[in-house]
Amino acid sequence: MKKLRVLLVDDEIMIREGFKRLFDWEAHDCAVVSEAADGMEALAQIDTLRPDIVIMDINIPIMNGLKVIQLSRIKHPGTAFVIVSGYDDFSYCREALRLQITDYILKPVNYEEFGACIDNLKISLFERRVAAAAPEKQEERTISGITKFLQAHLAEEISLSVLAEQFHLNPQYISQLFKSEIGVNFLAYLTNIRMEKAKKLLLSTSLSITEIAQQCGYGDYRVFTKVFKKTEGSTPSQYRRDFLEDTGAAAR
């Protein structure tokens, strides 16, 4: 997998420096190619550099981050936008989601946890590639077989050895496959799709947290809550309530 090219947009130099130097881009197969301090600069940089990932602050001079995304979206549909904002406000979040951003993280940024965000981003890029490719070609590829199998067996105990047995492959090889095809390790991928399923269930069903945890392959809901909190920044019940409250407010 080729290195992902990253553009940092924030009007505060310290925030950009922090991102550049405190997060291990190398380990995540990424490279920061440029920086921008305002909306116009960001727009120009996106056009000329065509980065894979744009880390974007909302509250920046001249043109706000959401506007930049809106304008760049059409020209560069393949670019992933990650919003980093101090505005702990769901209205921004809602607008950002409408622009189909890849992720929304809040300042202060915990650089250790930022890795999970990059992993999620890679997974969604992978899924976009899969969706874009011709279906008959997909069938032949091992990785798509494995991801399909994972989706179907999320509630069960899955490990590399289970996959190895199922697909008659070496566990080491499967691990390598994840790294090369998607760019993340197996466990990060599994956690990601489990959390995606959990979010879907939290918002679309009224199942209890314990039941959702079970359906997503967590026998112990305490572990589930902990993992959910770490990746989503809120506990499952908070997540569900925030959504309900927000849609309730929008309906009013």
Partner 1 sequence: MLRMEIALFLVLAFIACIYFSAGRKNTPLHKTFSLLLLTALVHLALDSVTVYTVHHLEAVPGVLNDAVHRLFLGSMVLVIYLFYQYIAILVEEETGKPRRLDRPAGIFLAVAELGNFLLPISYTVTPDGNYSSGPYMLVPYGAVAFYLLLCAGLLAVNRRQIDKKKKSVIGIALTIEFVVCILQGLKHTWLISGMGITLMTLSFYLTLENPDILRAELTEQKMSMLYLKSQVNPHFLYNTLDTIRIQAQLNGDKTVADLLMRLVDFFRLSVKVDRQMVALDDELELLEAYMDLMCSRYPDLRCVYDIDPDLGGMQVPNFILQPIVENSLLHGLKNKGYRGEVRISAQAASGQRMEILVCDTGSGFAEGKKAAIDQMLLNFSKQPAKLEGSSIGILNVQKRIKLLCDREYGLSYTENPAGGVTAHLLLPMKEDVQ
| Angle between helical axes of 236-251 and 186-204 (0-180°, round to 10) | 40
Contact flag: residue 25 with partner 1 (CB under 8 A): no
Closest-CA residue to 144 (of 162, 164, 122, 129): 129
The distance of closest approach from Cβ of residue 240 to partner 1 in the complex, given in angstroms and rounded to an integer, is 8
DSSP secondary structure, 135-152, as one string: HHHHHT-HHHHHHHHHHH
Window 104-133: contact mask with partner 1 (x via CB under 8 A): --xxx-xx----------------------
Q: Any contact of residue 240 with partner 1 (CB under 8 A)?
A: yes
Q: Answer yes or no whether residue 238 interacts with partner 1 by CB under 8 A.
A: yes
In the range 68-87, which residues lie near partner 1 by CB under 8 A?
Answer: 86-87
Residue 252 within binding range of partner 1, rule CB under 8 A: no
Nearer to partner 1, 210 or 215 (CB): 210
Figure out which of the listed residues 34, 175, 210, 215 binds partner 1, where binding follows CB under 8 A.
Answer: 210
CB distance 23 to 115 below 8 Å: yes
230 scored as a contact of partner 1 (CB under 8 A): no
Residue type, 128: R
Contacts of 54 (CB under 8 A, 6+ apart): 6, 7, 9, 42, 46, 69, 72, 79, 80, 81, 82
Give the whole-angstrom CA distance, residue 49 versus residue 214: 45
Which of the ranges 10-18, 146-154, 169-177, 186-194 carries the binding residues for partner 1, by CB under 8 A?
A: 10-18
* Helix segments in the chain, DSSP class H: 13-22, 39-49, 65-75, 90-98, 111-132, 135-139, 142-152, 160-167, 171-181, 186-204, 209-215, 221-232, 236-251
* Shortest Å, Cβ 86 to partner 1: 5
By CB under 8 A, residue 205 contacts partner 1: no
* 203 contributes a contact to partner 1 by CB under 8 A: no
Query: Which one-letter DSSP state was computed for residue 220?
Result: S
17 binds partner 1 (CB under 8 A): yes
Residue 237 engages partner 1 in binding (rule: CB under 8 A): yes
Q: Where on the chain is the footprint of partner 1 (CB under 8 A)?
A: 12, 14-15, 17-18, 21-22, 86-88, 106-108, 110-111, 208-210, 221-222, 225, 234-238, 240-241, 244-245, 248
